[in-house]
Structure 1
Amino acid sequence: MAPSEGGDRVPVPEAREIFVAYPWALYDDRVLYKRAYTSMQTALKVKFLFAEQRVSTGTVLTKIREMIESAAFGIYDVSHWNANVTLEYGMAVGMGRKAFIAFNPEKTDLGDVPSDVRGYDRLQYRNLDELTTAVESLVVQELGTGAAEIDPLEAHRRQLLASIKVNPGKTVQQLAVLTGLDKDYVQLLIRRSDSELRSSGATRGMKYFLAEDGAR
């Protein structure tokens, strides 16, 4: 915390905290939506701060303002063009904080979106897997991977691909055991290696192979 000119203390942004605002009614399962973000926390050494309270009182508004101030940047899911998310996005822009828009066009009437923000760069997605991939790329772009000295992501990705080459047809859980890496981290590495892999089977039991290998 650093003192302001008037003597009050104002938050110093945490290097790897990210504020997230989203409309509660966007998806039936809020836990599943939030996991699109939190699944990468350990791997990328970040923490997502969610605006879980509806902006209805000055006290709540102050709390959210402090969260926006304390974060390295914010992600504002304007799908449905929700009033609370709109307010929080406007607060961030007015405060001079870095703010990125997330947007699912299948869940939003474009006529509801003000024309002066329709052309903004945004994390556009159509499902939660696409949202996770977009957020991962944004975090790496803005904050890096969080490695203290060298970036281990590429080394671990190559380690995973080597393991898949030697042990084709393994699930994420099995690959985590084989590599000694966290399951969520393995999922992140798989997403980052999408063009080099192919898969088969149902979601929970998905098995992975190198794309260059023939069908087995």
Structure 2
Amino acid sequence: MAAGEPNSLPRLGKKQKYVFVAYPYRIYNKNDYRKPYHEIAKAFSVTFVFADERISTLHILDKIRGHIRECEFGIYDITGWNPNVTLELGLALGLGEKAFIAFDPKKTELKEVPSDVQGIDRIQYDSFYSLGEQLTRLIGQEFPIQRRHEAQGQMEKLRQETLDLIAKAGLEGIGVSTIAEALGANVELIKVVVRPMVGKELFAKGKKRGTKYLLRENGIDFFPKKDQIIT
């Protein structure tokens, strides 16, 4: 059974929509690394359980084991091939728990990764922005979007519905709250959908809470300033 496949063992005792996360906290700034996780947690109503403690005693090891067992799956960021993350990943695999690996190839020598780990489903990123994009795909795959109406709530469909609404708004533009209300979707989820399209399919006018989004059309080349990008 591949580590990214559904576990065939009973999932008793699992906390719904809980995801265990292990990452090399000595490599990354805590707030910077966790920002995309916090955004996605709001959008998908997911709880990420972070492994914050260095495994130095059996007590801490038992605590980590408990976190891994109670979560539906785990994300193990092996960037730099951190010993603590390696131990947590090995523990998860030994327990038969569902696991995904993540890494930044700029900071990770792939030849250091054992062949049995290379077969695990992975998230590969080169910035916190791309980490957020990859996490959005993974969480959307594992926990399909819950919508307040009965339309199928997959990300691509929601993205297209959002573009359609923005197109109808014309030069007036439309804000994320209005889009969320029209589509019966979570505001944070609409932010996740809109953010990657700014500077590509969309441009923004206004600032922060008053920002409205328009389609980029014939020759318009507008890239928003930092204070125009939704946060």
TM-score, normalising length: structure 2: 0.72
Instruction: Note closer, same or farther for the CA distance 1:194–1:142 as it changes in structure 2 (3 Å cut).
Output: farther
* 1:19 matched residue in structure 2: 20
* 1:210 matched residue in structure 2: 215
* 1:184 matched residue in structure 2: 188
Instruction: Note closer, same or farther for the CA distance 1:14–1:146 as it changes in structure 2 (3 Å cut).
Output: farther
CA contact (8 A) 2:101 2:122 kept: yes
Could you give the per-residue CA deviations for residues 112-145 of structure 1, whole angstroms, max 9, x where no partner exists?
3224323443111111111111111111212212
Q: CA deviation at 1:196?
A: 7.5
1:122 aligns with 2:118: no
Q: Secondary structure of the equivalent of 1:26?
A: coil
Could you give the per-residue CA deviations for residues 23-66 of structure 1, whole angstroms, max 9, x where no partner exists?
01222x21121111120112212111100111111111111100
1:160 aligns with 2:165: no
Instruction: Note closer, same or farther for the CA distance 1:111–1:169 as it changes in structure 2 (3 Å cut).
Output: farther
Cα separation, 2, equivalents of 1:71 and 1:175: 35
- Give the letter aligned to residue 90 of structure 1: G
Instruction: Note closer, same or farther for the CA distance 1:98–1:59 as it changes in structure 2 (3 Å cut).
Output: same
Q: Secondary structure of the equivalent of 2:26?
A: helix
Cα separation, 1, equivalents of 2:198 and 2:154: 15
Instruction: Note closer, same or farther for the CA distance 1:192–1:14 as it changes in structure 2 (3 Å cut).
Output: farther
Map 1:1-216 → 2, pairs under 5 A: 12-27=13-28, 29-147=29-147, 151-152=152-153, 157-158=159-160, 160-165=162-167, 166=169, 175-179=175-179, 184-190=188-194, 197-199=201-203, 208-211=213-216, 213-216=217-220
- The number of equivalent residue pairs is 200
CA contact (8 A) 1:104 1:125 kept: yes
Q: CA RMSD in A?
A: 3.2
Q: Secondary structure of the equivalent of 1:24?
A: coil
Cα separation, 2, equivalents of 1:55 and 1:167: 55
TM-score, normalising length: structure 1: 0.77
Cα separation, 1, equivalents of 2:201 and 2:172: 11
- Give the letter aligned to residue 160 of structure 1: T
Cα separation, 2, equivalents of 1:130 and 1:169: 30
CA contact (8 A) 2:81 2:112 kept: yes
Instruction: Note closer, same or farther for the CA distance 1:196–1:67 as it changes in structure 2 (3 Å cut).
Output: same
- Give the letter aligned to residue 15 of structure 2: E
Could you give the per-residue CA deviations for residues 7-33 of structure 1, whole angstroms, max 9, x where no partner exists?
xxx971112000000001222x21121
Q: CA deviation at 1:85?
A: 0.3
